[in-house]
Chain A
């Protein structure tokens, strides 16, 4: 019997779930005790530094490291020659799979450098200043090639080709000329032509977004220590210690069993810490020097070389009848993948119209490589980029039809039973509920003043399950130690302790959650895809149920009655059926204390591939005020309504909604990579790459919608991503409402907004 069948959430009275307990990591974080990636220091440890390409595109002719190697204090230097070639083989990496052939080239440039900041060599030395001086002694010969940044440019016939061996996948017949378009994907439903024929009103527009960075505060950091016996340890800030183990072991030619990865505390990732960068380099430096090596990126390196998300070039066309029924929806999108294939065009085409119940859909995605760092996942990868275009188009359609924008969405909303264009038939989902929640919110009815506008948009994200392995140990005093393999990137330790406590009938404070190293548990997929609270939570609940089963068995043994004559209630074993009342109930503490005489330690261990993730939808309303003389946009109000399924710890859920909204506001208004004419990044710092600061933002108001996911015992969906999806369009729609002109390019920075106002007047 699956737990889902056993325990539907309807009618269940929770004792722990839904409480706002103190965060278990809070004190250590505010006192500075928490240990992040850069906080480990080992004796004899060296400092690694990376030499990076100053060119966007060049042939790497030669690298002479002899002078650096001769420098006092330098213990090892590595280049492409220290990494073996990797085959053309895909490896899972969260929401964006990667190819080992490309991973090795991204970690250290081989034939060519493909972007400003591409690693070319690395040094380990007794101090950081020696390491940095040594980098200056490395002589690299480049043959600079023409470069290309924007996807529409990279798709042109005369564009510089990055990879002569790349032929577009997904076209028939197979092309004969290499291209920067690595692949084309299509999502189809119904008959798009017929759909547009039925339409009485059509809107069509082309939109652009710029690449943006995840903007995590903690830069990539690790300490690698390779032993003479061929084993190694890696301490690292990562969303996926098991994936970092596979990647690092593979690139360093090690057996997986020889490498132990210990995740540090996380200072933010948002998808950006799913992929290795300096970790295999640090390991090889350690192997060469026989010393531990620390590598910590500076902010410039983070911006120049770690995964941002794609910029997109998109055209969206919608057709509808006069009464507001959408008859056809079409999207063409070309996304920048960066230097190697793998932009999130899959999720973008799949989610493009997933909020709606539509007959005729066609979404075509182009994966385009260009001279930029390889993209990484970013909070609902791809979905946010295409949603900017689709949800702006929805607003334009609503205006043309003279239908209230929430009403138009409601009329076309996906619901239980809707067959999505990307395949599945939805179970219960919360699109209508989030629309209603925003419509009913007081913010939506505040009268607007001069130069103010209001915009709405919705968004969809799948969420995932995946490989999960947890161990729960009952301690000798009756408290509980829970070991999970997923780094806590959004409050999962609190949520796990609450779910375990709910099952066990104890207080969450009595369950201490630790994040395991890779030697202590079976394989865990990474903390991504909003999977952790759902999948690790479900597995934790199952592990607790195993512990309960064992505790009942111990009680049965003590009382000498059959196991099935014992029930578990409120943290106690109680005799049931014919024995009811014969014995005093045994508490979890008493059972724990007697464990050594009743059969030894009590634990529950579950490993599984969790399925049944429930999509989470969100609707958001944004109010803005535009300064008509400067084009500056002030965010007045933001209302986020997202379907959590069930909020385990509501404060953390609200925090995720708020954080996602803030990232979206930055993306909408100011964030962008700015390249000079040589393809060098001009703003690799938080001064000129403008994420919002606190004074830019109002309080973000949240509404937690709960349409339970039937595939989780308490109804949990993932909630970490969807709330970023609607934001850019909601801001755009609000600006349009304020100034009467629709923008189509992100970021909607003051000069662009002012220009739009002036062109309109």
Chain B
């Protein structure tokens, strides 16, 4: 296995493009190294992207934020302004593993590993994040919910790298929240994860909302019906119940070692309701 740690994106793309065997991007390695050790992949080339500056920064951009794909969960949580803007997304990364894991685990790795249960992804779907992807044919943009196709499978072409995540600008009375259910309080994989982001008018009417749902389908989902149940309402109990019901209805889980289908469908609604409540509370305080 060859290990390379180029300092430019172009060099990284060139290395990946020239490799005829199995090539993998390495960010924090908290998924990749575990998979190598478990004999799940046996790469010929590993390209470490942590030395590429563009991928390691958090910056304000057009009233929103841009976060490099190799930024770690710990760095996001330590960035006070970003955390104030997107507390739900930071909640997602703050749930990944433990303090040790979070200081390695990157937001790009969490997404590109393509686990339907990845904790930062439902919140990023709710946030309406747009990805910047770079490859041998240049750059393109993609909605975050469109990257993953199935467990372990992304829409990335050969030698493509996710470079950064753009978080949109939004109004003052807005916030987000992420909740997951795990049997243990830490070091566990979401049985269900729900991210809710919402924005209110001056009179408290919900102007915009998005709901992301994880661990209940082959990939994390954008649940438009749930968002529609909130938009235009005062986010009262009836609206939240309707939104929770829509979230449960969108869940398409399977029975597996981490939970039953029936249980996951119910919990999707429970968490949606609770996450919406938290996001609402936060928005009102802004």
- Contact, CB under 8 Å: A696 / B184: yes
Interface segment among A226-234, A369-377, A637-645, A686-694: the answer is: A686-694
Contacts of A76 in B (CB 8 A): none
Interface residues of A, dominant DSSP: loop
Q: Which residue of A lies closest to B258 (CB)?
A: A688
Tell yes or no: B133 within 8 A of A by CB: no
- Contact, CB under 8 Å: A693 / B187: yes
- Contact, CB under 8 Å: B188 / A751: no
Tell yes or no: B181 within 8 A of A by CB: yes
Bits for A658-671, please: 1 = Cβ < 8 Å to B, else 0: 00000000000110
- Contact, CB under 8 Å: B185 / A630: no
Tell yes or no: B270 within 8 A of A by CB: yes
Tell yes or no: A760 within 8 A of B by CB: no
Cross-interface CB contact of B185 among A631, A687, A696, cutoff 8 Å: A696
Contacts of B267 in A (CB 8 A): 630
Tell yes or no: A137 within 8 A of B by CB: no
Docked CA distance A684–B196 (Å): 34
Tell yes or no: A749 within 8 A of B by CB: yes
Docked CA distance A132–B38 (Å): 12
Contacts of A695 in B (CB 8 A): 185-186
Tell yes or no: A683 within 8 A of B by CB: yes
Contacts of A755 in B (CB 8 A): 263
Contacts of B35 in A (CB 8 A): none
- Contact, CB under 8 Å: A632 / B186: no
Docked CA distance A692–B184 (Å): 7
Interface residues of B, dominant DSSP: loop
Q: Give how many A residues have a beta carbon under 8 Å from the other chain's beta carbons.
A: 25
Cross-interface CB contact of A751 among B184, B186, B189, B259, cutoff 8 Å: B259
Docked CA distance A755–B260 (Å): 11
Contacts of B260 in A (CB 8 A): 751
Tell yes or no: B136 within 8 A of A by CB: no
- Contact, CB under 8 Å: A632 / B189: no
- Contact, CB under 8 Å: B183 / A670: yes
Docked CA distance A749–B183 (Å): 7
Q: State whether A687 and B270 are in contact (beta carbons under 8 Å apart), knowing that A630-B181, A749-B183 are contacts in the complex.
A: no
Q: Which residue of A lies closest to B274 (CB)?
A: A629
Bits for A254-274, please: 1 = Cβ < 8 Å to B, else 0: 000000000000000000000
Tell yes or no: A682 within 8 A of B by CB: yes
Q: Which residue of A lies closest to B263 (CB)?
A: A751
Q: How far is the CB of A239 from chain B (nearest CB, A)?
A: 27
Tell yes or no: B266 within 8 A of A by CB: yes
- Contact, CB under 8 Å: A750 / B184: no
Docked CA distance A615–B38 (Å): 45
Which residues of B161-185 have CB atoms within 8 Å of chain A's CB atoms? 181, 183-185
Contacts of A674 in B (CB 8 A): 257
- Contact, CB under 8 Å: B183 / A632: yes
- Contact, CB under 8 Å: B183 / A683: no
- Contact, CB under 8 Å: A630 / B270: yes
Contacts of B38 in A (CB 8 A): 300
Docked CA distance A669–B185 (Å): 12
Tell yes or no: A754 within 8 A of B by CB: yes
Contacts of B258 in A (CB 8 A): 688
Q: How far is the CB of A131 from chain B (nearest CB, A)?
A: 13
Docked CA distance A64–B172 (Å): 71
- Contact, CB under 8 Å: A754 / B266: yes
- Contact, CB under 8 Å: B257 / A688: yes
Q: State whether A690 and B188 are in contact (beta carbons under 8 Å apart), knowing that A632-B181, A674-B257, A682-B257 are contacts in the complex.
A: yes
Docked CA distance A631–B182 (Å): 11
Q: State whether A670 and B184 are in contact (beta carbons under 8 Å apart), knowing that A751-B263, A754-B263, A754-B266 are contacts in the complex.
A: yes
- Contact, CB under 8 Å: A750 / B181: yes
Q: How far is the CB of B270 from chain A (nearest CB, A)?
A: 5
Contacts of A682 in B (CB 8 A): 257
Q: How far is the CB of B275 from chain A (nearest CB, A)?
A: 13
Q: Which residue of A lies closest to B38 (CB)?
A: A300
- Contact, CB under 8 Å: A693 / B181: no
Docked CA distance A203–B181 (Å): 36
- Contact, CB under 8 Å: B187 / A687: yes
- Contact, CB under 8 Å: A693 / B184: yes
Bits for A748-761, please: 1 = Cβ < 8 Å to B, else 0: 01110011000000
Docked CA distance A300–B37 (Å): 11
Q: State whether A687 and B189 are in contact (beta carbons under 8 Å apart), knowing that A674-B257, A682-B257, A754-B266 are contacts in the complex.
A: yes
Q: State whether A750 and B257 are in contact (beta carbons under 8 Å apart), knowing that A630-B270, A690-B188 are contacts in the complex.
A: no
Q: How far is the CB of B160 from chain A (nearest CB, A)?
A: 29
Docked CA distance A683–B257 (Å): 8
Q: Which residue of B lies closest to A697 (CB)?
A: B185
Docked CA distance A300–B258 (Å): 18
Docked CA distance A682–B181 (Å): 20
Bits for B177-205, please: 1 = Cβ < 8 Å to A, else 0: 00001011111110100000000000000
- Nearest 7 interchain pairs by C-beta: A751-B263, A695-B185, A674-B257, A629-B270, A682-B257, A695-B186, A670-B183
Q: 20 A-B contacts, Cβ less than 8 Å apart?
A: A132-B39, A630-B181, A631-B263, A674-B257, A687-B187, A687-B189, A688-B257, A688-B258, A690-B184, A690-B188, A693-B184, A693-B185, A693-B186, A693-B187, A695-B186, A696-B186, A750-B181, A750-B191, A750-B263, A754-B266
Query: Chain B: residues with CB nearer than 8 A to chain A?
Result: 38-39, 181, 183-189, 191, 257-260, 262-263, 266-267, 270
Known: A750-B183, A751-B263. 10 other contacts (CB 8 A): A631-B263, A669-B183, A674-B257, A683-B257, A693-B185, A695-B186, A696-B186, A750-B181, A751-B262, A754-B266
Query: Chain A: residues with CB nearer than 8 A to chain B?
Result: 132, 300, 629-632, 669-670, 674, 682-683, 686-688, 690, 692-696, 749-751, 754-755
